[in-house]
Chain A
């Protein structure tokens, strides 16, 4: 029983890693008091999903998905099983751009909050709002 479980964990370690990272990010977003820590948590959350996508493109014994030119390479058929799946990796280029943009917007908002309240601790800000 235990052995089977361990086998399942080891065989699917990429899923376990991404879920662990996602939960770390989610925890930081919910439980941390500092706005920058929350933003970092959000970034970890996004990165976890990027890792998930990258890991599903991998194949055992696969090589880079570049069909070589010359030497009659076009003559023999391409075996898709010999190559890594490049599509999830390409999708993640877009997702990385999105996550960088989100991080930028979030940090800019953090700056705006800091200028207004001179602090980044959420409880202090909320106390300040309640005073008004």
Chain B
């Protein structure tokens, strides 16, 4: 059984999508348990894989028994085992938290929602586990198309147009990746990542390889909303239903950063990316622009959810910059931040989901007096916010620490300043929210102040608050175990040539 973990984690949610869709015709109440069971199997397999590869093992899995490079191979090392665990656990926790809000927002469409949900998770897990460049494209499109569907179920007036804009950009991104893979195929005749990496070194100075790398990179940047290719993200994530945005916001961008790191580390090797190419400096400067612009654009927003979408753009800058610093600390920070940022984004988006469930909106007027009304939700939100700011012992501090020390080692002081600047802006952003939610009296939508009712607690349902608090506790636990994650998992990912 445990030998088949790599394929179980993809095929179980994939097949469950059909079952859920069929069960929806019979009885809608069966859909949720089936989805939870399927993602539970995935999460179990992912954790099993992480334990298997921790301390330096690698799992190769041949689909259908075909040997690579002819067949599709799944290839699990410490890097994707970590990302797999984060993706599957985040998706499972969010699914449980999403039940109430889905049942209220679109009671008629629960079956299609769960179907798209498990298919999206299939796509994300498949991208992470596969060792085949073309297979990655197919799973990327599975993840994207279902993502468009989930986002379009949101705000009736605005979501379809925002999704359409996301779809144009997403298609351009995926097509660019496909084109890059085409050029790699022309020069190597192979689609298997390990095989390509083996065949490439004599061709490092070929212009076709250079083109392939740049095109793949730009495609992946579009998909991860790396500044200035971020235009689609804020509207798409803001108008999505809260259950969908707390799934897609933590996972999509982070998985695409994983793909970028996989391209750098495995397919093209760091010698090519950092040595032959000489583009690391400009890319780090682009990341600086992403961080600064993300932080500044977040400052101007008056809606918590929309503000958080700009924070995601800044966080993407953290990870791209960290990966391109070209040293061990920067790469460690970037990989650690994939896991940490997925969890803290999940945490704050779950909190926003609870707030929207109760107040029907997350504008600054809606959150007045929420500390008294929804103390547990706000406690979860505060932990998530502190982690995004980077306060120890939450995990956000540790990845930021690695990123900053990487920046100093590489002499990229601009990147260091940008990190500190965005931390400061985050302090302003979140303490402004805390202030409104703590000191302003609670108002209902008629503008009447309820000072004497304000002490009444009106918390979101338990099914939503408990997952939020679990994720919030997870942020602190991740922070405390950072040393373990780095020494048992991430240390093995970074090639010895990288100092």
Partner of A106 from the list B138, B158, B164, B186 (CB cut-off 8 Å) is B164
A:23-57 near B, CB below 8 Å: 26, 29, 35, 38, 42, 45-46, 49, 52-53, 56
Q: Does B361 contact A (CB under 8 A)?
A: no
Q: Which residues of B contact A35 (CB under 8 A)?
A: 164
Supposing A29-B172, A52-B179, A98-B138 touch, asked if A109 and B185 sit within 8 A by C-beta, the answer is no
For A26, A52, A53, A98, the residue with the greatest tally of chain B CB atoms inside 10 Å of its CB is A98
Contact assessment for B138 and A94 in the assembled complex, using a CB-CB cutoff below 8 Å? yes
Tell me the nearest residue of chain B to A98, going by C-beta: B141
The listed residue (B148, B157, B164, B172) touching A110 by CB distance below 8 A is B164
Contacts of A68 in B (CB 8 A): none
Q: B160 touches which one: A98, A102, A109 (CB < 8 A)?
A: A109
Report B145 CB to chain A, min CB distance, Å: 6
Instruction: State in angstroms the CA–CA spacing of A42 and B141 once bound together.
Output: 15
Closest Cβ neighbor of B172 among chain A residues: A45
Check if A129 is an interface residue, CB within 8 A of chain B.
yes
Cross-chain contact B161 with A53 (CB below 8 angstroms): no
CB distance from A82 to the nearest CB of B (A): 17
Give complex CA distance A132, B158 in Å. Answer: 11
Residues of B contacting A132 with CB < 8 Å? 157
Q: Which of B141, B148, B158, B178 contacts A129 (CB 8 A)?
A: B158
B interface bracket (residues with beta carbon within 8 Å of A): 20 to 34
Q: How far is the CA of A29 from the CA of B222 in the complex (A)?
A: 15
Interface status of B163 (Cβ within 8 A of chain A): yes
For B134, list chain A residues within 8 Å (CB). Answer: 91, 94
Contact between chains at A109 and B164 (CB < 8 Å): yes
**Cβ-defined contact, A45 with B175, below 8 A:** yes
Closest to A129 in B: B158
B156 in contact (CB, < 8 A): yes
Which of B156, B167, B172 is the one whose CB lies under 8 Å from A105? B167
CB A41 to nearest CB in B, in angstroms, measures 9
Kindly list chain A residues whose C-beta atoms are within 8 Å of the C-beta of B158: 129
Residue of A nearest to B160 (CB): A112
Q: Which residues of A contact B21 (CB under 8 A)?
A: none
Contact of A49 among B141, B163, B178 (CB under 8 A): B178
When C-beta atoms are compared, the residue in chain A nearest to B140 turns out to be A98
Counting CB contacts under 8 A, is A58 at the interface?
Answer: no
User: Using a CB-CB cutoff of 8 Å, which residues 52-102 of chain A contact chain B?
Assistant: 52-53, 56, 88, 91, 94-95, 98, 101-102
- Which chain B residues lie closer than 8 Å to A52 at the CB level? 179, 182
Chain A residues positioned under 8 Å from B185 (CB to CB): 56, 88
With a CB–CB cut-off of 8 A, which chain A residues contact B179?
Answer: 49, 52
Question: Which residues of chain B are within 8 angstroms of A4 by Cβ–Cβ distance?
Answer: none
For chain B residues 106-141, which have a beta carbon within 8 Å of chain A? 134, 137-138, 141
Instruction: Mark interface residues in B148-189 (1 if CB within 8 Å of A CB, else 0).
Output: 110010001110110110011001100100110010011000
B152 close to A112 (CB less than 8 A): yes
Given A52-B182, A95-B178, A101-B145, CB of A29 within 8 Å of CB of B168: yes
Contact of B156 among A38, A91, A116 (CB under 8 A): A116
CA distance A69 to B178 in the complex (A): 35
A49 to B167, CA, bound (A): 17
A72 shortest CB reach to chain B, Å: 26
What is the CA–CA distance of A38 and B145 in the complex, to the nearest angstrom? 18
Given contacts A56-B185, A91-B134, contact A46 B156 (CB under 8 A): no
Bound Cα distance A129, B161 (Å): 11
A18 to chain B, nearest CB (A): 9
Q: Chain A's nearest CB lies how many Å from the CB of B169?
A: 9
Interface centre among B145, B157, B164, B186 (most CB of A within 10 A): B164
Q: Which residues of B contact A113 (CB under 8 A)?
A: 160-161, 164
> Which chain A positions have C-beta within 8 A of B149?
105
| Residues in A neighbouring B157, C-beta threshold 8 A | 116, 129, 132
Interface pair B148/A56, CB less than 8 Å apart: no
A125–B168 CB distance below 8 A: no
Cβ–Cβ contact A46 & B171, under 8 A: yes
Q: How far is the CA of A57 from the CA of B137 in the complex (A)?
A: 19
Contact, CB under 8 Å: A46 / B152? no
* Minimum Cβ distance to chain B for residue A45 (Å): 6
With A and B bound together, what is the CA distance between A124 and B305 in angstroms?
27
Known contacts A105-B149, A109-B167; decide if A56 and B160 are in contact (CB<8 Å).
no
- Per CB-CB distance, the 7 closest pairs between chain A and chain B, nearest first, are A112-B160, A98-B141, A109-B164, A113-B160, A109-B160, A113-B161, A49-B175
Q: Which residues of A contact B (CB under 8 A)?
A: 26, 29, 35, 38, 42, 45-46, 49, 52-53, 56, 88, 91, 94-95, 98, 101-102, 105-106, 109-110, 112-113, 116, 125, 129, 132
6 contacts between A and B (CB under 8 A): A38-B164, A102-B141, A102-B167, A102-B171, A109-B160, A112-B160
Query: A49-B179, A105-B149 are known contacts; what are 8 more A-B pairs with Cβ within 8 Å?
Result: A38-B168, A49-B182, A53-B182, A88-B182, A98-B138, A101-B141, A102-B171, A105-B145
What residues of chain B have their CB less than 8 Å away from a CB belonging to chain A?
134, 137-138, 141, 145, 148-149, 152, 156-158, 160-161, 163-164, 167-168, 171-172, 175, 178-179, 182, 185-186
